[in-house]
C-alpha cells in the first residue's frame, strides 16, 4: 500500500506547489471562507513583525495564535509553504496509519461478534470484508490530500492545517492505544483552538474499550481510568499553557486566544453561523446568546456519548463534524478534516437517504460563496443576507450530512442485530423509521 | 509724487477672504453682501485663485428662491451677483470656525486643494470681509458656533508671526461689529465695522418679489462707493471711512487705524480691493549678451576639473551579495526553548521507552 500512497502524496504536493506559484495563491489567501481571524497567515506574519519591532503581538486585535505557533514560525517563516505542505502530508500519513489500525480493530470486533452469534442470520451482506476495507486508508488519505478544501486551505497558508495535523496525530495515538500520547496531542489541539475539548469523550470511550473496561457508572476501574486519562490531559494542558507564558513572559495570550474564541468579537463574515446573528443583535443580549451558541458546541457530547458508547470512532467523527459546523470561526479546512473520514463509513452508503441532494447542496454552495461575496462586497447589488443565506444552506447541508450518516449507522447496527428483513409481530414486513 | 506713491505700499500681491457665516433663507442678504464684495473685488482685478470665498448657504439653489440660480443685490432685481463664474471655495457646512481659522493661519491638512488655501506671503495685502449675525465680541457661524474677537485677534497675530500678510484690511458687517476689531494687536491691520458696540446693523430693503431683504445697509453703501472705483483710481481709505453716515445707515460705522503704519490718507482703495500690479515702463534696451558673458566668466574651467566617476568605484558586487540579512530582533527566551524541547524529549522517551536512550547517546 505504500506505493499508491506515495503517488497520492506526490500528486497532492504537485497540486499545491503549482498553486503556490500561480496568481491564485493571493486570491485564495484573501478569501474569508479559507482564512478566519484565528488562522489567517497574514496575521501570523503581522504578529511576528510586531514582535520584531518589540511590541507584544497580542496587544492589538490582530494576532490570535498561540505562543507555540509564534515559536514555530519564528524559525520557519521563510519556508512557510514547505511547512504547510509537510503538515498536510503528515496529516495524511497520520490518518492513513490510524485508519489502517482502526480497520484491524473493526475487523477483529466483527469477527468476535459473529462468533458470539450476536448478529442475525441474514445480514451477510452487511458485514464488512477485508477486501473492501483494504483500500479505505488510501481513500482516506486521498480524500484528505486532494480535497479542494484542503488544497485551498494549504495554499492560503492557514494554520488550520496545523490544527488538523495535531488532531490527526491525536486520533492516531488514540487508535494505537497510547493514553499518554493521546492526552498530549489532545492537550495541544485544545490549546490551539478550544473546541477539541469535546473530543476527550470519544477518545476516553475508545481507550476504555481497548482496555476492556466496561462502561458502567458504578465500576471502579472505569472511574480510575477516567481519572488517569483526565489528569494526564489536564496536566499536559496546564504544562503547555505555563510553558507559553515563558515565551513572552505574559499571560496576554489567554484573553487574545481563548477570550477571542469564546466571546466572538470579530464579526467578519465567514462560513459559520455566528457573524450574522451577532451583527444584528443588541448589546444587551449578546452575552446571553454568545453563551447559548458556545454551549451548543459542547452540548451534543453527552447525549452522543450515551448513544454511541459502543462506537467511539463514529462518535469521534460526528463530534469533529459538530465542531467544524458550530465553532465560532469555521473555515473550509475544518470541514476537510471530517470529510476525510467519510470513506471509513462507505459501507453505510446503502442506508444514506439524502446523499445526492446533500452533495449537490454542498458543491453548489461552495461555488456560490465567492459569487455572492463578489455581488455583495464588490458589485453592491446584493447584501449580507445573500451571503448569510448561502452560509445557512451550507451549514444545513453539513448538518444533514452528519445526521444522515448517523441515522445510517444506527440503522445498520439495528439491522445487524435484528436481521435485514424486519417483521412485525403478525409477520408482515416492517420499515425502520427514525422517530 | 508719482515715485512716492510707487514706493508707498510694500505689497506685491492681493488676496481676499470673503466669509458669509449665516445659514437659512432669511439670511439671503448676507450671501448677497458677500457675493457683491466678491464681484467688486474680481472686477478690480483679484483673480479667483486669490479669493477664498466661504458661503454658508446656497441661496441661488435654495428651494425657496423664486428666481432660481440668481442672487440679487439690488431692489428691482437689477444686479445678479451669482452667475456662472462664481467660485465658492467653502460651501455649506464647510464654513466653520475651524476651517476659517485654518485658512487664515495656513494650518491646513495636506490634502486640501489649492483653491481652499490662503497662500499669502509677507508681501500680500489681504482683504477680509465677514458678514452674518454677531454680538458683543463674537460672530455666529452657521447657527451653531461662534468665533470670538480674541480668537480672531490671535489668528491675525499668528498670521503676522508667520509673515502671512503685509497689510490687512478687515471689514465686518454685523450687529455690534466694532467689538470684533477691539482686540487686534498685530501691526498693519486696518479695520472697518458697520456698527458700534450696542448698535444693530440694519438691512437695506426687502424685495417683495423674492420676499427677503436683499442687502445690508452698510455693504450696500460700500458697494455704491466701490462701483465708482476702477483699477487706476486714486481714492484713499479716508473716503471709505465716510461711506454710510448715520443718516443713511442708522448705525454708526466704526474704523480702527492705530495698528496701521501708513496714514489712511495714503492708502489706496485698490491696495486692498484690487490687484494692481506696479508696472514700470521703460524704453531702455538691455543687451543680454554681455550678461551671459559676465556669468560665464565667473566659473573658470579649472574648478570643474574633478575626476569623472568610473563604474568600478561603486560598491563592489561582492560586498552587496554577501550582505547579511536583516537580523531578527526578537528571539524566544532560552528558558522557553529549553523547557519545550525537554518536554518533547520526555514525551518521546515515555512513548518509546527509556531503553532507546542509550542508542541516542
Name which residue leads in pLDDT, B296 or B49. B49
Q: Does B340 touch chain A (CB under 8 A)?
A: yes
Q: From the centroid of its chain, how far is CA B337?
A: 62
Would you kindly state where each structural domain of chain B is located, as residue ranges? 10-273
Interface contact flag, B333 A247, Cβ < 8 Å = yes
What the block records as the C-alpha cell of B139 is 460672530
Mean pLDDT to the nearest integer, A148-165: 93
Interface probe for A, chosen from B327, B340, B341 (most Cβ of A below 10 Å), is: B340
B113, B87 Cβ separation under 8 angstroms: no
pLDDT tens-digit series, residues A59-100: 888 899 999 999 999 888 888 999 999 999 999 999 999 999
Helix (H/G/I), strand (E/B), else coil: B191: strand
- Would you say residue A53 lies in a domain? yes
Q: Does B325 touch chain A (CB under 8 A)?
A: no
Residue B82, pLDDT score: 87
Residue B77, pLDDT score: 57
Handedness of CA A71, A77, A81, A82 (dihedral sign): negative
Residue A167, pLDDT score: 96
In the predicted model, is pLDDT for residue B87 greater than 80?
A: yes
φ, ψ for residue A180 (rounded to 5)? -65, -55
Interface contact flag, A243 B336, Cβ < 8 Å = yes
Mean pLDDT to the nearest integer, B93-98: 92
B349, B356 Cβ separation under 8 angstroms: yes
Which range marks the domain in which residue A173 is found? 1-418
> What does the alpha-carbon distance between residue A180 and residue A22 come to, in Å, rounded to a whole number?
43
In the predicted model, is pLDDT for residue B170 greater than 90?
A: yes
Residue A131, pLDDT score: 82
Task: Provide the angle, in degrees to the nearest 10, between the axes of the packed helices A67-76 and A80-115.
Answer: 120
Pairing, β B145-148 against β B138-141: antiparallel
E strand spans, B86-123? 90-91
A-B Cβ pairs (cutoff 8 Å, strict): 37
Q: Does A181 touch chain B (CB under 8 A)?
A: yes
Quote the number of domains for chain A.
Answer: 1
Mean pLDDT to the nearest integer, B25-42: 90
pLDDT tens-digit series, residues A163-204: 999 999 999 999 998 899 999 999 999 999 999 999 999 999
Helix (H/G/I), strand (E/B), else coil: A315: helix
In the predicted model, is pLDDT for residue B220 greater than 90?
A: no
Residue B198, pLDDT score: 86
Residue A199, pLDDT score: 94
φ, ψ for residue B13 (rounded to 5)? -145, 160
* Closest chain A residue by Cα to residue B329: A52
- Would you say residue A295 lies in a domain? yes
Question: Which active-site residues of B does the annotation give?
Answer: 133, 175
Residue B16, pLDDT score: 94
Mean pLDDT to the nearest integer, A274-293: 91
Banded model confidence at residue B126, pLDDT cuts 50, 70, 90: very high
Banded model confidence at residue B318, pLDDT cuts 50, 70, 90: low
What is the architecture, at CATH level 2, of domain B10-273? Answer: 3-Layer(aba) Sandwich (3.40)
- Would you say residue A424 lies in a domain? no
Neighboring chain B residues of A71 at a CB cutoff of 8 Å = 332, 336-337, 340
pLDDT tens-digit series, residues A37-60: 998 999 999 999 888 888 888 988
Task: Provide the angle, in degrees to the nearest 10, between the axes of the packed helices A80-115 and A148-155.
Answer: 150
Interface contact flag, B328 A184, Cβ < 8 Å = no
Name which residue leads in pLDDT, A118 or B109. B109
> What does the alpha-carbon distance between residue B233 and residue B120 come to, in Å, rounded to a whole number?
25
Interface contact flag, B340 A71, Cβ < 8 Å = yes
Mean pLDDT to the nearest integer, B68-94: 83
> What does the alpha-carbon distance between residue A210 and residue A127 come to, in Å, rounded to a whole number?
21
Among B13-22, B321-330, B332-341, the range of highest mean pLDDT: B13-22
Q: Which residue has the cell 427514525?
A: A434
Pairing, β B124-131 against β B90-91: unpaired
Interface contact flag, B329 A239, Cβ < 8 Å = no
Residue B360, pLDDT score: 56
State the greatest distance between any 2 C-alpha atoms of chain B, in Å, as a whole number. Answer: 118
- Residues 109..168 of A with a Cβ closer than 8 Å to B: which? none
Q: Does A78 touch chain B (CB under 8 A)?
A: no
In the predicted model, is pLDDT for residue B76 greater than 80?
A: no
In the predicted model, is pLDDT for residue A245 greater than 70?
A: yes
- Would you say residue A432 lies in a domain? no
Residue A114, pLDDT score: 86
Helix (H/G/I), strand (E/B), else coil: A2: helix
Amino acid at each position: 500500500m505504500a506505493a499508491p500512497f506515495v503517488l497520492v502524496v506526490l500528486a497532492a504536493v504537485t497540486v499545491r506547489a503549482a498553486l503556490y506559484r500561480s496568481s491564485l495563491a493571493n486570491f485564495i489567501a484573501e478569501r474569508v471562507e479559507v482564512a478566519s481571524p484565528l488562522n489567517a497567515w497574514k496575521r501570523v506574519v503581522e504578529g511576528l513583525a510586531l514582535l520584531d519591532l518589540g511590541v507584544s503581538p497580542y496587544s492589538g486585535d490582530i494576532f490570535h495564535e498561540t505562543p507555540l505557533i509564534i515559536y514555530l514560525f519564528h524559525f520557519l517563516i521563510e519556508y512557510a509553504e514547505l511547512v504547510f505542505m509537510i503538515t498536510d502530508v503528515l496529516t495524511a500519513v497520520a490518518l492513513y496509519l490510524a485508519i489502517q489500525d482502526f480497520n484491524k480493530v473493526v475487523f477483529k470486533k466483527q469477527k468476535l461478534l459473529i462468533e458470539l452469534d450476536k448478529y442475525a442470520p441474514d445480514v451477510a451482506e452487511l458485514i464488512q470484508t477485508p477486501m473492501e476495507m483494504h483500500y479505505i486508508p488510501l481513500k482516506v488519505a486521498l480524500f484528505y490530500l486532494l480535497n479542494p478544501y484542503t488544497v485551498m486551505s494549504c495554499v492560503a497558508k492557514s494554520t488550520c492545517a496545523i490544527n488538523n495535523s495535531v488532531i490527526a496525530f491525536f486520533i492516531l495515538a488514540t487508535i494505537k492505544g497510547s493514553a499518554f500520547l493521546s492526552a498530549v496531542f489532545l492537550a495541544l489541539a485544545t490549546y490551539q483552538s478550544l473546541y477539541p475539548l469535546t473530543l476527550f469523550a470519544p477518545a476516553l470511550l475508545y481507550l476504555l474499550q481497548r482496555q476492556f473496561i466496561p462502561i458502567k457508572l458504578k465500576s471502579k476501574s472505569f472511574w480510575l481510568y477516567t481519572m488517569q486519562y483526565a489528569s494526564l490531559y489536564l496536566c499536559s494542558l496546564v504544562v503547555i499553557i505555563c510553558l507559553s507564558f515563558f515565551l513572552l513572559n505574559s499571560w496576554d495570550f489567554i484573553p487574545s486566544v481563548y477570550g477571542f474564541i469564546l466571546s466572538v468579537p470579530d464579526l467578519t463574515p465567514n462560513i459559520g453561523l455566528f457573524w450574522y446573528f451577532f451583527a444584528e443583535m443588541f448589546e444587551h443580549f449578546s452575552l446571553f446568546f454568545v453563551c447559548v451558541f458556545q454551549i451548543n458546541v459542547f452540548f451534543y457530547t453527552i447525549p452522543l456519548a450515551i448513544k454511541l458508547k459502543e462506537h467511539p470512532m463514529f462518535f469521534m467523527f460526528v463530534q469533529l463534524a459538530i465542531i467544524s459546523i458550530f465553532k465560532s470561526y469555521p473555515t473550509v479546512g475544518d470541514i476537510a478534516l471530517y470529510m476525510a473520514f467519510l470513506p471509513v463509513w462507505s459501507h453505510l452508503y446503502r442506508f444514506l437517504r439524502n446523499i445526492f441532494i446533500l452533495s449537490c447542496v454542498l458543491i453548489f454552495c461552495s461555488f456560490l460563496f465567492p459569487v455572492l461575496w463578489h455581488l455583495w462586497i464588490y458589485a453592491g447589488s446584493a447584501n449580507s443576507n445573500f451571503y448569510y443565506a448561502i452560509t445557512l444552506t451550507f451549514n444545513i447541508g453539513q448538518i444533514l450530512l452528519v445526521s444522515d450518516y448517523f441515522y445510517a449507522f444506527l440503522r445498520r447496527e439495528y439491522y445487524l442485530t435484528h436481521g435485514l428483513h424486519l417483521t412485525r409481530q403478525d409477520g408482515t414486513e416492517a420499515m425502520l423509521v427514525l422517530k | 509724487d508719482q515715485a512716492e506713491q510707487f514706493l508707498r505700499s510694500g505689497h506685491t500681491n492681493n488676496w481676499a477672504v470673503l466669509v458669509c457665516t449665516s445659514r437659512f433663507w432669511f439670511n439671503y442678504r448676507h450671501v448677497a453682501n458677500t457675493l457683491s464684495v466678491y464681484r467688486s473685488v474680481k472686477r478690480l482685478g483679484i483673480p479667483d485663485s486669490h479669493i477664498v470665498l466661504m458661503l454658508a448657504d446656497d441661496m441661488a439653489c435654495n428651494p425657496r428662491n423664486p428666481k432660481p440660480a440668481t442672487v440679487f443685490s439690488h431692489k428691482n432685481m437689477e444686479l445678479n451677483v451669482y452667475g456662472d463664474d462664481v467660485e465658492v471655495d467653502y460651501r455649506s457646512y464647510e464654513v466653520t470656525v475651524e476651517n476659517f481659522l485654518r485658512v487664515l493661519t495656513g494650518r491646513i491638512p495636506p490634502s486640501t486643494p489649492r483653491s481652499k488655501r490662503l497662500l499669502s506671503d509677507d508681501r500680500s495685502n489681504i482683504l477680509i470681509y465677514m458678514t452674518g449675525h454677531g454680538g458683543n465680541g463674537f460672530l455666529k457661524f452657521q447657527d451653531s458656533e461662534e468665533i470670538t474677537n480674541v480668537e480672531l485677534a490671535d489668528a491675525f497675530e499668528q498670521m503676522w508671526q508667520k509673515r502671512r500678510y503685509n497689510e490687512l484690511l478687515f471689514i465686518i458687517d454685523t450687529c455690534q461689529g466694532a467689538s470684533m476689531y477691539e482686540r487686534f494687536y498685530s501691526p498693519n491691520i486696518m479695520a472697518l465695522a458697520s456698527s458700534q458696540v450696542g448698535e444693530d446693523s440694519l438691512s437695506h430693503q426687502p424685495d417683495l418679489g423674492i420676499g427677503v431683504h436683499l442687502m445690508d445697509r452698510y455693504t450696500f453703501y460700500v458697494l455704491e462707493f466701490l462701483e465708482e472705483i476702477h483699477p487706476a483710481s486714486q481714492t484713499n481709505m479716508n473716503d471709505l471711512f465716510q461711506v454710510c453716515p448715520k443718516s443713511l445707515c442708522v448705525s454708526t460705522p466704526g474704523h480702527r487705524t492705530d495698528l496701521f503704519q501708513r496714514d489712511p490718507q495714503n492708502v489706496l482703495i485698490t491696495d486692498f480691493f484690487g490687484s494692481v500690479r506696479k508696472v514700470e515702463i521703460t524704453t531702455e534696451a538691455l543687451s543680454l549678451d554681455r550678461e551671459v558673458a559676465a556669468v560665464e566668466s565667473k566659473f573658470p574651467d579649472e574648478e570643474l576639473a574633478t575626476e569623472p566617476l568610473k563604474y568600478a568605484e561603486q560598491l563592489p558586487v561582492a560586498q552587496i551579495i554577501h550582505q547579511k540579512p536583516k537580523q531578527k530582533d526578537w528571539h524566544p527566551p532560552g528558558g522557553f526553548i529549553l523547557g519545550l524541547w525537554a518536554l518533547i524529549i520526555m514525551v518521546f522517551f515515555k512513548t518509546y521507552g527509556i531503553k532507546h536512550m542509550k542508542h541516542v547517546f
